[in-house]
Each structure stands twice: as structure tokens, then as C-alpha cells.
Structure 1
Amino acid sequence: MQAKKIAAALVAGFTALALSACGNGIAGGGSGSGGGAKTTFRLAFNQTEKHPQYKAAEELGKKLEKATDGRYSIEVFANETLGSQNEVVQNVSDGTVDMMYIAGPVLESFNKDFIVFNLPYMFDSPEAQAKVFADDAVMGGLKTSLEDSKKITVLGALHAGTRNVYNAKHAIKSPADMANLKIRVQQSDSQVQMIKDMGGVASPMGQGEVYTALQSGVLDGAENNETVFNALKHDEVAKYYSYTRHLMIPDYLVMSTTVLKGMPEADRKALLELVPGAVDQANTGLLQYAADSKKASQETGAKFNDDVDVAAFKAATSGLVKASINTPVRQALCDAVQKANAKA
């Protein structure tokens, strides 16, 4: 009997050691209790593994794991595998998905002040945009503005390229060329109005539906940067890409406020200190990715047109800009952008 007790004790001891060595493999939840437990944050992304934002998030996860002695890491789920942005943001809100990249217009639906950065011809350059987004005196209020209502914290704002119009019919040179073209936009009131002002017919739609809609003729075109045009193969079904340069709206890296605040203070601080480096990596990578994407699309037969009356499009959308900057908060954000434009 005594021998059996000793054997049982040894088995229990070895089992405990094995479990301790392996960790508990927690995925999501963000409780971060420490003591050897590992939490893997799930980060949702609606584009491919080739995108610089994907690569930056992967690198962020590796650095976070090192900085927290293995307590936290990040797994990135690309290609809308966790759902569309409008679906996933609700999951981030309730804490069932930890993190995501999200387009500016989606956040605009939760706090209208985000509209300032989504307006046409707001930023003159990526450099000006980066200056604004790196300034906590400008961005601090926006980053925390959704914490009470949606339990979402904005960790950082990223350059998401310059958006232009592409379609299956013809090159776009002036607003007159947009007449009767059904153009996909993000699900945002301001984006719908923008396309109307530019002369087209706005069709709000999720990103995952666009290729089929272009292929079938439900849509004539869309508006996005060169990376999306190529990566999602829109260049196969809408070969006329015209540099209207109408938008430089950002993407945001956001996180469940509940998950973030559930981290031990030191680990939370480590994460927040790593975010600016991830933003810089993604921004730098995107510029080269856009150039490579354009070249790849040209090889498929896509035609890029830079003979565009940008001034005419800017004038056509100026009413939307003026009407949208209608509170002191939005005016202050707009002033900060104009100041950065002047210095960049």
C-alpha cells in the first residue's frame, strides 16, 4: 500500500512538472495572470499575409512575447477568417476577439469625430499624416473615446495608402467621367456622399463581396489603393485605375479595453511601448508594397492614368469637408492636420 502511495505521488509530481513546462496555452481573454501562463491575443485582419500590416503585427507579437518573458504573444488571422470588419469590431467590443486592424470609416460610425481623417483631400502627404498620428496631444482623446461606450481602445493609427478610383469602363479624368458609374465604397455615410459629389453612384459593400460584384457587373468600379487593387485581384475585372488621390484615410490598430486593462501593468506598458515601432514598420512597408503592387497590376494589363484633374475633384468635395467640420473638436483636429500639411 505504501509503495502504491509513493508511486501515485511521483506520477502526480511528473504531471505537474509537464503541465508547467508546456504552459496552459490560453488563447484570447487577455487576463494575463502571469505565473508562467501564456496568453495569445487573436488579431483580426481583412487582407492577406503579404500586407505590411500583417507582417508588422507578427513582429509585434514576437517582440511582445520577448518583452513579457513569454506571457503574451499575438496570432494574426488574415483574409477575414474571423469575419468582416463590421462583424469583428463587435467581437472586440465584447472581448471575444482581442485585437484588430480596422478602417477609419468603421470607427466613424461609433464616434463622428473620426470623420475628420476620413474626409477627401484632408492630408497632403503620408509624412503629414504620420506627424498628426504620432502626436498624443492631438490623438489622445480619440484613442480613448470609445472605451466607455464600446470597450475599445485605439492603440495606433496607420497610413493605409492613397485611395483612387478604378473601374471596368474607362479612365477617369474629371468628375464628368464618373457619371452613372456604380462605385463601391466602405459602409460610411461620408464615403457615400463623397462619391456622389465626385459624380458617381455610391454602393456601400463589404470588401469580401467586391470582386464578384465587379465581375458580374453589379459594380462598375471601386476606390482603394494599389495594394488592394492587386492583392484582391480587382485588376482582373476593373482595369482602369485613375489617380484621383481623393482619400488618405487611416487604418487603426484597436484592442478590447477589457483585455488591455486586464494585463498586468508592466506587460501592458510593454505592449503600448512597442506599438509605435509596429506602426512605423507597417507605414514604411506599405509605400514599397504599393509600388510593387502597381507593377504587378500593370503586368496583368491594368492601365494606370495620372492625367486627372485633381483640383476639380477637390472642389467638388469641398462642401462635404466644410459641412463635416462642424464642432470645436473636429475643427481642432482639422487645424492640426493643416499645420502638419504646411510643415511636411
Structure 2
Amino acid sequence: MTRTLTAALLASVALAAPAFAECEVTLRSSDTHPDGYPTVEGVKHMAERAKELSDGRICIEVFPSSQLGEEKDTIEQTQFGVIDMVRASFGSFNDIVPEAQLLSLPYLFRSEDHLHNVMDGPIGDDLARAFEARDLIAVAYYDGGARSFYNSQKPIASIDDLKGMKFRVMQSDVFVDMMSALGANATPMPYGEVYSSIQTGVIDGAENNWPSYDSSGHFEVAKYYTLDQHLMVPELVAISKTRWDALSPEDQQILRQAAEESEPVQRKLWAEQEKASEEKVLAAGSEVIRDIDKTPFIEAMAPVYEKYVTKPEYRDLVKRIQETE
């Protein structure tokens, strides 16, 4: 995998050399989503600001559509310093940064405003230190929306409707346990394999937010979308610690400022994309199930919390999140 990604990066360097020839520092950033997606555009805005603030010295080249690999692989390569930057869901870091698992606990966040207040405050700073201990420098927290279930078989209006169904989840233990607690069967697999797996019946469905349900084309093969909003998982933009440590303090500050300024831009784009995606999939004939009783879903999560909120510091973090206004 390292050789493959290194070869891809060398090829990209050759192709992009003329455009970035005048840059003293060039960072290559990976994203699994397609060009134009809010997370991709957020990093592009960070790139624009970094170039402006550095008078053209710092350039960030964004590779969307999993050009450098799927999220799990690109995260590992960013840790090793093969890739400079990665934008990925917090859920994809669950097996790397233990604290990240806590943010994937179902129904932990009450709303998007609640999530923003948590990530933009002292808790976000504490999480950044946890990532640094795993050779990743967290520079921005983006919106990932609320994740809900979609499938190709039937409308899901209650927890009983999930029993025995096969759902793709991210390659993370907490997501597997969440599905088990709901009585469904979890199938971890890369994001890029979901469409064909639903189409061929390998799985019944998956779970994601409005823009991902739309941009992936999954609504074409999974027409039933249930707005249970079980997860609000933030997105992370991280830089390889190896690459970060090689930068001057001035350049580090420029990148932090550019990343921070990109957050409200990405969040605004996200809200706009959610609305547009909802309109698109409804027009295409998707059936959206909105009026469900979430109480049984929430109560079913008790064993998941018991399994992952085990240490005093974890219980304290969850308590701090829940008490944040």
C-alpha cells in the first residue's frame, strides 16, 4: 500500500509541478469525497487563505474522489508522512485515537449548534492533543451533518424494522457495536464499495448524511431514507506531524489561521448542500421517513456507552460534552 500511494503521489507531483513550481511549501491533501463537496471546498478555501497569508509561499493541493486512497489508508499514510494532509470523518479515526470513539457515540450531540460549541471550545483543544499523540495535527473541525439509515428493502419506522438487516458501516468497532445493539448486522467496508454492494444485494443499505447519500449516488439503489439522526460526527482536517514539525513556527501559524478561517465557510456550504441534496433525492423518488420515535433507539445504546465509556477520563469527557450548552 505504501509503495502504491507513493507512486501515485510521485505521478501527481509530475502532473502538478508547473502549477506549484513557485511554492516553497506544497502540501498534498486527500479527501474521499468528489470535487465540489463541502469538505473538499473547505480545504480549498484553506489553501487559498494559506497562499494569501504566505504571499504565495505555501500551497495546498487537494486530491478529491479518493485519488490517493480510501480514508483508512490515507489516514495511516498521513501518520507516516507519505501524505501531508487528510480530511476524514472522526469515525475513521476511532481505532487510532481512543477519544475519537466517544464522539461517535449515538445521540451524544443534541444539535449541530451543540456540536459546534463543543468542537470550537476547550474540548476541541483537548481532542487535538490526543490526535497529536498519534502523529496527526488537528487544524480544523468541519461539519459532517447528521447520519441516518438508508436501504433498498423497506421503510424503517421503528427499531424492529432494523432487525436482521445488513448495513455498511465505517471500519470502526463502535459502529459495529451500534448496529448490533439495534439488532442489525454490520458490514464494515470502504466507502467506494457501497454502491455496488447495495446494488448486488451484498448489503441492504448504509448510513450517512444528506450530501453523502446524494453525491455517492446511493439514493439510486437505496430509496428508503430514515431520519433517525443517530450520529453527528464531525469531520477533521489533519496534517502529518512529521510534515508539521518540518515547518517553521511562522508557517505553522499561517496554516492554523487558514484552517480556522475555512471552518465557517465549510459549515455554510454544508448547510446549503444539505438542503440541495434533500431536494434532489426527493425529486428522484426517495421515500423519506421523518416521524419516528427515537426513544427505543436511544435506550438500545446503553450497552454501547457501557463498553466505550469505561475510564474516568472518558466519563468526564462525555459529561463535559453533554453539559456544554
TM-score norm. by structure 1 comes to: 0.86
CA RMSD of aligned residues (A): 1.7
1:122 and 2:86 equivalent? no
Trace 1:1-344 onto structure 2 (pairs within 5 A): 37-135=23-121, 137-148=122-133, 150-340=134-324, 343=325
**How has the CA–CA distance of structure 1 residues 24 and 229 changed in structure 2, closer, same or farther, with 3 Å as cutoff?**
closer
Asked if 1 retains the 8 angstrom alpha-carbon contact of 2:99 and 2:130, the reply is no
Distance in 2 between the 1:24 and 1:120 partners? 46
What displacement does 1:337 show?
1.4
Asked if 1 retains the 8 angstrom alpha-carbon contact of 2:143 and 2:267, the reply is yes
Distance in 2 between the 1:289 and 1:90 partners? 29
User: Structure 1: which amino acid aligns with 2:127?
Assistant: L
Aligned length: 309
Distance in 1 between the 2:82 and 2:304 partners? 36
Deviates more, 1:102-111 or 1:54-63: 102-111
Distance in 2 between the 1:307 and 1:199 partners? 21
Asked if 2 retains the 8 angstrom alpha-carbon contact of 1:118 and 1:248, the reply is yes
User: Structure 2: which amino acid aligns with 1:140?
Assistant: D
Distance in 2 between the 1:283 and 1:232 partners? 20
**2:126 counterpart SS class:** helix
Distance in 2 between the 1:146 and 1:104 partners? 11
Distance in 2 between the 1:185 and 1:69 partners? 43
Distance in 2 between the 1:66 and 1:258 partners? 24
Structure number with greater Rg is 1
Asked if 2 retains the 8 angstrom alpha-carbon contact of 1:26 and 1:39, the reply is no
Distance in 1 between the 2:130 and 2:226 partners? 36
TM-score norm. by structure 2 comes to: 0.91
Asked if 1 retains the 8 angstrom alpha-carbon contact of 2:47 and 2:258, the reply is no
Q: Show the counterpart of 1:11.
A: none
User: Structure 1: which amino acid aligns with 2:179?
Assistant: I
**How has the CA–CA distance of structure 1 residues 24 and 94 changed in structure 2, closer, same or farther, with 3 Å as cutoff?**
farther
**How has the CA–CA distance of structure 1 residues 310 and 63 changed in structure 2, closer, same or farther, with 3 Å as cutoff?**
same
Distance in 2 between the 1:307 and 1:170 partners? 15
What displacement does 1:300 show?
1.3
**1:118 counterpart SS class:** coil
User: Structure 1: which amino acid aligns with 2:115?
Assistant: Q
* Unaligned segments of structure 2, at least 5 residues: 1-16
What displacement does 1:221 show?
0.6
Distance in 2 between the 1:295 and 1:216 partners? 27
Asked if 2 retains the 8 angstrom alpha-carbon contact of 1:24 and 1:38, the reply is no
**2:103 counterpart SS class:** helix
* Unaligned segments of structure 1, at least 5 residues: 1-22, 28-35
